[in-house]
Structure 1
């Protein structure tokens, strides 16, 4: 059909006025985030933070079961508060002391107001401060690494509300403190203002993370990658050099501390940093993580029991981002977190390495970020197919419908599993046996001040507050065999004890501790709390004649 409208002559636009074609993005896909000036970000981050703190804080003292490691770190923090040195027993170079020094600061005010509240269950509340800071940092890092708002929020949810996170972030572990400092290092390294002092601060935060838990040393290359990508080209050498120098100088303070105390190298009559390093490097491994029946296999399945989504999805997201690194803006932006996931996964897969249950804490925020980033990358690739004008005109509703279907499907898979895990965390009471044992030892023993009892560290502070003499009356069970300062007060070995509290930890490790093993064998239960493998037995030592000591 021929048009009957008169022809219209379009005036020629001068060459210099021709609009330039839209260029493909080569850097950020979102503006650099300054959280304090973005109202939508503040609202979303605040709402998610409240949800995380409610779920993590509800029932925090009763679930999960108190662990000996928690008791040890809190008892060491108590020793710092009381001016008793760096530990409640002879300090040896297992971990740098900065971690429990921070715990001492966190728990100082409640301990000063109510000394008897300095127990593991009560002081778990202090970990909510760490969880809050870490969750906000995950959101900030996500936004600074170009994730859209919804993806940064998803990363925050994955990090804070996964049942695995809820369980492990409640516990008084040095790893939780170290993760907070590591996230701060990443946030400063990705600072949109690119100030030199931000990069120096990243180096200081990274060193603090390592001095809190030495295994964070593996993550430092990823912090450096992030800093290199986000520093200004003209000042990059200064920024990186300053950060590395600050990190190294602060990190060297630990061996300097040992040197000044005359405990850097082995010698008679003292512990040494070298012995601590040697122990960590030569301790028995827990086997290959993919070898069925190994200790590492059991640890992996304990993680998967709480949450398969974050671990499997995070590893898959990290792999996706690495594969698409060359042509994906999101993948390049998340190079640091992706590299962190790869490093930590490779360390966990060492055939002869030792894999503790709390190791995954170090990976949680980075698994969350790369899973959120991978989700954003896939969503962007799928929806990109509707970019042409005709498709935009006719299929806009279809692409959002597809996005809604994908989101609902993912939610239908994840929410029921998370609901069951988080419901257990906020309703179960796993520590009733510990509370009952603590009450019995506080009320049924006639003279606590003249009684000697072996316990795990989860109960140590409870009994100190009940009147037992720290170090001499209430004894951390490992020290009865491994600390000469304690064994010399027990010239007759197990016969110098009155009670042994056989918790699951004590029964498990007594095999390699002669005094503890003998104390259990030469005692009879006078009170039992709980059932099965989780029971706690209070056992009274029996002499050869059949009477009590």
Structure 2
């Protein structure tokens, strides 16, 4: 019998190489990330969310200045709540109504408790819910696109704490609601689980975004790119087809509504969806955004006044990712957000297009993602290079070199952020937390409530920022408190003013009223035949309450 001896041998000792992490953006598909089951992510996201909501909520009723657009959307939401229709005047298809229907739902609980709370100042708090959800969705999207935890936190902070974001996300704009739904669509499109219902849901969310603010339509190609990258190759055709069908069929509900109301096509005696589209497409252009003296350039400068880091840094990053670095791992992971930035920027640069001040809201989350993604990629490239260099000098020295490089880089990044970002944002955020830009509006609302003898029989032209204040003070909605545009542009209102400006008692001449009265004959005549009885504020921002000479009061 042969006996086999087992000889014990010592294992060959090897020197372990220092640990190097895979590129955070190189994993395809993205790692399975669930915010609700990740303790560190929940902690970081929760802390950042608390800071963002505190900064955005502090002094929210006093800054920035109330705008007529905010008042219009809130007044339309009030009309929905009261069962008066889709608008407080004739709905003429200027925007899809889905946006202010959501505002009506968000503000409905507060209006049940106190109907008089349905005013612009108080209802700004409702936007904290929209802003908070959007910030969390951006964090989730950043993680699903492969950003490291600190990179996702950086993107969330950029999106929520930039002075530009703080000023605009406080306001009751349809753009903020549309951004929330589009971020949800991107999160579902980038889902690592590849469920078909995720992509179907992305289509529904995208349609809701477009129906909240129609200009989000230009972001859909970027969403499609992200969905294509993150769908499984075996079910990609079904996923994309389902998403496109869900988005298209949901969007068709708007023209179907107009068709069923016999308001799809132009005709005598009624508004139409086609007329509304024609108006939006034929609006006078704001000029080229880079040409000094144009309205678009003034809007662009107002954005840069609040923040230059996020707009310029994000735009530069998108150009690099789509151009010079288009084949890199970072570019592939962030192709969707980069395309969204590029598309929205090109639309803004049309010389013949109209550029509103709130347009930048739509691009803010994608700018934040690009800046955070670029920073994450640069940080990892430097760390990886240091780790590989250290590996050539042995395990211990390599590990020390890696830790040293990581600490040095993080310190350098922190110092850079502090110098370039925090110092630049300090003044803007301090203004948002301390300034009182709406004192004239509060004083004018109080005067119209307390110093007019019989509000129920008084007619006053007012902008929509104060329209609900007057309604709650007892003025009749529609023909007592009159949104000044409608005195000239709405035949139903004009019929209640057979004598024109002589049937009006007061004009609350805010900056918006004085600016736009040039093109409104009735409003212009009312200003010319009136004298100020109270003035609140100074300079161009003042609000004058003017009594009309031929009025009844």
State TM-score, norm by structure 2: 0.93
Q: CA deviation at 1:386?
A: 1.2
**Residue 16 (structure 1) aligns with:** none
Inter-partner Cα distance in structure 1 for 2:272 and 2:29:
51
**Residue 294 (structure 1) aligns with:** 294
Inter-partner Cα distance in structure 1 for 2:530 and 2:40:
63
Superposed, 1:494-533 pairs within 5 Å as 494-533=501-540
Inter-partner Cα distance in structure 2 for 1:288 and 1:381:
38
**Residue 471 (structure 2) aligns with:** 464
What SS is found at the alignment partner of 2:392? Answer: helix
Indicate how the Cα distance of structure 1 residues 43 and 472 shifts in structure 2: closer, same or farther if over 3 A, else same.
same
> Would you say 1:84 and 2:91 are equivalent positions?
no
**Residue 409 (structure 1) aligns with:** 416
CA-to-partner distance for each residue in 1:46-75, whole Å, 9 max, x for gaps? 000000000000111111011000000000
Q: CA deviation at 1:467?
A: 0.3
> Would you say 1:541 and 2:548 are equivalent positions?
yes
Inter-partner Cα distance in structure 2 for 1:394 and 1:143:
28
Inter-partner Cα distance in structure 2 for 1:430 and 1:532:
13
1:390 aligned residue (385, 389, 392): 392
1:488 aligned residue (463, 479, 495): 495
Q: CA deviation at 1:381?
A: 2.3
Indicate how the Cα distance of structure 1 residues 112 and 26 shifts in structure 2: closer, same or farther if over 3 A, else same.
closer
What SS is found at the alignment partner of 1:265? Answer: coil
Q: Quick check: 325-334 or 241-250, which moved more?
A: 325-334
CA-to-partner distance for each residue in 1:413-467, whole Å, 9 max, x for gaps? 2112212111111111111100000000001000000000000000000000000
CA-to-partner distance for each residue in 1:141-184, whole Å, 9 max, x for gaps? 00000000000000000000000000000000000000000000
Whether the 8 Å CA contact 2:506–2:548 is kept in 1: the answer is yes
Inter-partner Cα distance in structure 1 for 2:552 and 2:326:
73
Inter-partner Cα distance in structure 2 for 1:78 and 1:380:
51
Superposed, 1:264-413 pairs within 5 Å as 264-323=264-323, 325-388=325-388, 389-390=391-392, 392-393=398-399, 395-396=401-402, 397-413=404-420
Q: CA deviation at 1:32?
A: 2.5
Indicate how the Cα distance of structure 1 residues 390 and 214 shifts in structure 2: closer, same or farther if over 3 A, else same.
same
Q: Quick check: 360-369 or 327-336, which moved more?
A: 327-336
Whether the 8 Å CA contact 2:31–2:192 is kept in 1: the answer is no
Inter-partner Cα distance in structure 2 for 1:268 and 1:260:
17
Superposed, 1:48-197 pairs within 5 Å as 48-197=48-197
Inter-partner Cα distance in structure 2 for 1:426 and 1:478:
33
> Would you say 1:440 and 2:447 are equivalent positions?
yes
Inter-partner Cα distance in structure 2 for 1:70 and 1:206:
23
Q: CA deviation at 1:112?
A: 1.0
CA-to-partner distance for each residue in 1:115-143, whole Å, 9 max, x for gaps? 11100000000000000100000000000
Q: CA deviation at 1:26?
A: 5.3
Inter-partner Cα distance in structure 1 for 2:274 and 2:53:
40
CA-to-partner distance for each residue in 1:288-330, whole Å, 9 max, x for gaps? 0011000000000000000001101111121222235454222
Whether the 8 Å CA contact 2:383–2:405 is kept in 1: the answer is no
Q: CA deviation at 1:403?
A: 3.4
CA-to-partner distance for each residue in 1:198-227, whole Å, 9 max, x for gaps? 000000000000100000000011111111
What SS is found at the alignment partner of 1:527? Answer: strand
Inter-partner Cα distance in structure 2 for 1:45 and 1:425:
23
**Residue 19 (structure 1) aligns with:** none
Whether the 8 Å CA contact 1:324–1:331 is kept in 2: the answer is no
Indicate how the Cα distance of structure 1 residues 480 and 467 shifts in structure 2: closer, same or farther if over 3 A, else same.
same
What SS is found at the alignment partner of 1:246? Answer: helix
What SS is found at the alignment partner of 2:33? Answer: coil
Inter-partner Cα distance in structure 2 for 1:414 and 1:157:
11
Whether the 8 Å CA contact 2:530–2:546 is kept in 1: the answer is yes
What SS is found at the alignment partner of 1:63? Answer: coil
Whether the 8 Å CA contact 1:228–1:240 is kept in 2: the answer is yes
What SS is found at the alignment partner of 1:107? Answer: helix
What SS is found at the alignment partner of 1:471? Answer: coil
Whether the 8 Å CA contact 1:316–1:371 is kept in 2: the answer is no
Inter-partner Cα distance in structure 2 for 1:130 and 1:222:
22
Q: CA deviation at 1:410?
A: 2.5
Indicate how the Cα distance of structure 1 residues 234 and 443 shifts in structure 2: closer, same or farther if over 3 A, else same.
same
Q: Quick check: 452-461 or 406-415, which moved more?
A: 406-415
**Residue 253 (structure 1) aligns with:** 253
Inter-partner Cα distance in structure 2 for 1:526 and 1:438:
14
CA-to-partner distance for each residue in 1:451-487, whole Å, 9 max, x for gaps? 0000000000000000000001010000000000000
CA-to-partner distance for each residue in 1:235-267, whole Å, 9 max, x for gaps? 000000000001000000000000000000110
Whether the 8 Å CA contact 1:288–1:351 is kept in 2: the answer is yes
Q: Quick check: 309-318 or 152-161, which moved more?
A: 309-318
State TM-score, norm by structure 1: 0.94
Q: Which runs of 5+ in 1 are unaligned?
A: 1-8, 14-21
